[in-house]
Structure 1
Amino acid sequence: MEIRHWRIGELTAVTGLTARALRHFEDIGLLPPIERSASGHRRYGEEDVRRLYRIVAMRELGIPLPEIARALDEEPDLAPMVREQLARVETRIADAQRLRRLLAGLLRLAPLPSAGQLIEVMKTMTQSSGFSPEQLARLRRRHDSDKLATWRSALADVVEELRACVAEEVDPADPRVQELAGRWSAVARDIAGGDLSVLSSMYAKLDAQGAAQATKGLVDEEVWEYVKRAFAIASALR
């Protein structure tokens, strides 16, 4: 049986990634060294495509590249990632259906909806948790007020130091910033209980809602974008 291979152009077409991004994934170790044809062109095999799917799926879930690299090394099975994507899609569908019901209800009101009803619509539009019901249940079991206070204090210390680095225009590649990014990741993993799906939802929530809103003012957008740059650099240095 002939073994199927894919050219880089075929994968860019189906993933939406650029050829440069695919080559970058190979350079930083997210993808293994890709087989080359006699003419020197990359030829991606089935295992490469499976690994690429997991990278694309985790990027879609908002996971930073260092966490993706760690997950690829620790969990070779595709099933958990497929289940996580399915749970995320089902959550989005449920949120959209709820918003649809609310909007349809507004159209039936005459002459105008109440302020309370509009507040409910806006909450549905902007404050979806981003977590599946199963993830919320796991978080509630794990989080109590003392733990939350400890985590918030630890993250606040990191954020304060990152904010100082931003003000001083320190390069995110600087060892000082890389150490802070590592401390951030450690706190985030502890909050998530080591659960990659919960961690991905946490990061996705910061991107979807905005860091300030998602963290109730603890993390501002400038610091969030700065630490994401530090994450990307850390991944490239692995």
Structure 2
Amino acid sequence: MTEQSRRWRVGALAASSGLSQRTLRYWDSIGLLSPSARTDGGHREYDSDDLLRLYRILGLRSLGLTLDSIATCLDGGADTRRIVSDQLADVDRRLTDLSTLRDRLVQVERSLDEQSAVTADVLLAAVRAQHGPDGSVLGEHLDPDQIDAVGAAVRAAGPAAHYMLEIEWPQLYRRADALLTAGARPDDPAVRRLVGRLDELGARFSGGDPDVGRRIGDAYREDPAAISGVSDPPADRWRAVADFIELARTAGAARTRGAGSTPQAEGGRP
């Protein structure tokens, strides 16, 4: 039997992968990973393509993505080689951070063993090693403090930021475009769920600051392809999609107010 022709029933795949049958069955039920093959007797089996998808799911999950984000990224064409590279980079980064932290802690320990006062420089170096470097990311519409805040959020997400911002976010815009084309109303539940996820992403990378979200929205309207990562339709079409998303957001806020609840603060609007 060749590698390409190997197949696994759920129990065999669970035993071989270390996952539980319950997990595999749950992923099947939500459409994240379903057996693609069938035996002559009609039993469902996982094939080599399913195994590759399983690896990609676990790889993205190890980078911090949720199952919903993973499903969207896989639909958006997340590249297996990129996932492997990002996993390696994440492991190397953590090894480097641990090595740096160990060196700093050795310095602190040595100072204490010598019964001398630990210098401020040694302590600050140890603090930096535990919290990581600071820096800045992002563009022209944000002031330096906001750039720092967004950059910190991106760095905190690690390799997962690539999948959330460069694959999931554009894929959500494509789905919004498809819903708009199909004639969906802004208050359609599918549209509201999609906008809810966009707002989750916005809040994560704006630090919950509505001013940052507004400025990113302004940048989007100036250059939607650069901000959203989707350049296939014309810019005017993506602006129409952005307007559709905003209508859905407004409809959702009105529904919340009508239910007598207090709307949560808006975090950001990709």
- TM class by shorter-chain length? 0.5 to 0.7
**1:56 Cα offset (Å):** 0.5
CA distance in 2, matches of 1:143, 1:183: 21
Change (3 A) 1:115 1:53: same
Query: Equivalent residues in 2 for 1:193-208 (5 A)?
Result: none
CA distance in 1, matches of 2:144, 2:53: 35
**How many pairs are equivalent?**
167
* Residue of structure 2 aligned with 1:118, choices 94, 101, 123: 123
Structure number, greater radius of gyration: 2
Runs of 4+ in 1 over 6 A off after TM superposition: 175-178
Post-superposition shift, 1:143? Answer: 6.9
Aligned residue for 1:6, secondary structure, equals coil
- Give the TM-score taking structure 1 as reference length: 0.54
Q: CA deviation at 1:177?
A: 7.9
In the alignment, what sits opposite 1:140?
137
Alpha-carbon shift at residue 149 of structure 1 (Å): 4.4
Match for residue 183 of structure 1? 199
**What is the CA-CA distance between 1:92 and the residue it aligns to?**
0.5
Distance change >3 Å, CA 22–CA 69, structure 1 → 2:
same
Q: Are 1:128 and 2:136 an aligned pair? A: no
Residues 88-237 of structure 1 aligned to structure 2 (within 5 Å): 88-109=90-111, 110-112=114-116, 114=118, 116=120, 117-125=122-130, 127-128=131-132, 140=137, 142=139, 145-146=142-143, 149=146, 179-186=195-202
Kept in 1: contact 2:37–2:46 (CA 8 A):
yes
Higher relative contact order (CA 8 A, sep 6+): 1
Q: Which residue of 2 aligns with 1:30?
A: 32
- Decide whether aligned partners of structure 1 residues 107 and 76 sit closer, same or farther in structure 2, where only a CA change above 3 A counts: closer
Structure 1 gap segments, 5+ residues each: 154-172, 196-238
Taking structure 2 as the reference length, the TM-score comes to 0.49
Per the TM alignment, residue 77 of structure 1 is displaced from its structure 2 partner at its CA by 3.0
Contact kept? 2:59, 2:87, Cα under 8 Å: yes
Distance 1:62 1:28 in 2: 19
